[in-house]
Structure formats: C-alpha cells, structure tokens
Amino acid sequence: MTLTFDEICIDAHDATALGDWWSRVLGWPRDIDDDGDVVLHAPPGAGPNWLFLAVPDDKVVKNRIHFDFRPDDQRAEVERVIGLGARRIDIGQGEPSWVVLADPEGNEFCILAAED
C-alpha cells in the first residue's frame, strides 16, 4: 500500500475569507469544490493543496501543528503579510531567528530567516 500526501485540511469559521487570504499570501489560485470547500491549488513541487473547511466554532487554543515558510527576504515578507492582515503574536518564543504570526482567524505560522 502507498499513501500520497494530497491535501492539508484547515478548519475555518469563514472558509471563504480565510481561503482568499491565504491565496493572496501564497499567490496560489483558489476555487470552490463540489462540497463548497475552498481549495488552494499548490504549484507543482510546492506540496499538497490546501482545503479550507467551514466549521461553526472559532479557534480557541494554540495550534498543534503550524506552517513554517522560508522567504528570500524575511523582513520584506513579514511586512507584506502583516500588510495583508497577519499579526505578530507571542507564544513564548523568546528572541528566535523566525517571526511568529497569526492569520486572520488566529492560526499561528512562522516566517523563518532567509537561508545564507
């Protein structure tokens, strides 16, 4: 038996708004599938598609899994993503080389330092 990593499923209070936001952040095209879920289509080699599922409840605790992104220019990307509506958050990380942010629904993600 073989498994293929096909999708990352993300619960969202407003799946359309959050899917649209991440589509702008990542630059990935999005559409609505037959079930009404928002699908972000990953470019070839960029990993699995992201599927945003509408749920009635809000996020209330720290994520048990999160995304790390490595940019060419950390400062520029942090400023760009904050400009789109992300916010800096403190989860007790101290002064690391990465920046911890939250998307509009409070899901944590990190923008790492650029590779040397």
Task: Output the pLDDT for position 116.
Answer: 66
What domains can be seen in the chain, in order of their start residue? Answer: 1-57 (3.10.180.10), 66-116 (3.10.180.10)
Q: How confident is the model at residue 9 (pLDDT cuts 50, 70, 90)?
A: very high
Quote the CA–CA distance of 52 and 15 in Å, as a whole number: 5
pTM of the predicted protein model: 0.89
Q: Are 37 and 52 in contact (CB under 8 A)?
A: yes
Task: Output the pLDDT for position 55.
Answer: 94
Tens-place pLDDT, residues 50-93: 999 999 988 888 888 899 999 999 999 999 999 999 999 987 77
Q: What is the largest CA-CA distance in the chain?
A: 45
Q: Average pLDDT, stretch 103-115?
A: 93
